[in-house]
Structure 1
Amino acid sequence: MIKDPSAVKDYGFDWSPWMSSGDTISSSTFSADTLAVTSSSISSHTTICFIGSGSAGGNHKVTNRIVTAQGRTDERSFDMKIINL
C-alpha cells in the first residue's frame, strides 16, 4: 500500500473467505507502528481502519488482529509505504 504523508484514508481486510458459516467478528484491533490509526470499525466480515500521518520515505507494518464470536483469533498485516504523491 502507498499513502501520502497528509492523507487520512481507510484500509482494511475482508475476512469472509476465512470465516466459518455463522461466525462473526466480535473484536478488531489495528496497530500501525508509528502511524496514527484514527478510527476503526467492523462491517459484517470486513474490518476497516483510517490511517493518518507518516513521514515521506517511511515504511510501516499495519496489523489487524481479530477475535470471532466462535473464539477464533487471527492476524493479518500489510506494508504501508509513505511517499509524497
Structure 2
Amino acid sequence: MTNAFPPKDPAAVLDYEVDWSAWLAQGETIAGTPVIAAPGMTVNPAGKQTQVDGGKVVFWLGGGTVETFHDVSCQVTTSAGRTDRRTFPLRVAAR
C-alpha cells in the first residue's frame, strides 16, 4: 500500500479511510476493524469512532510528533473469518 495520505499536523484530528473493497470476496463483509497507531498518535480521539462504510474502514487520528513518520495499521476480520492488515507510514509535520 502506498502512502496516499498528506502530512498531518500534530494538533489536527482527521479522518482516514482504507478501502478493502477489491480484497473482499463477493458477499463478504467487514466484521472487525482494529486500528493501531505508533506511540504518540491517538486513534479515535475525543469520542470519535471507527466506522465501516461498505468495504471501507474510516477512522480518526490525532496527535503525533513533528517530523516523524508514525506507522498506522488497519486490520480487518471478515464475515468469512479472513483477517488481513495494512500498515502505512503517516508523516506528521507542522502545517
* Shorter-chain TM band: over 0.9
State the identity as a percent. Answer: 32
Select 1:44's aligned residue among 45, 54, 59.
54
TM-score (norm 1): 0.94
Q: How far does the alpha carbon of each residue in 1:4-56 deviate from its partner, in whole angstroms, 9 at most, with x for none?
A: 11110011211010100000000100000121001311111100110001121
Report the RMSD for the aligned CA atoms in angstroms.
0.9
Letter in 1 for 2:34: T
Q: How many residues get paired?
A: 85
TM-score (norm 2): 0.85
In the alignment, the residues of structure 2 paired with residue 56 and residue 73 of structure 1 have an alpha-carbon distance, to the nearest angstrom, of: 32
Letter in 2 for 1:50: W
Select 2:72's aligned residue among 34, 49, 62.
62
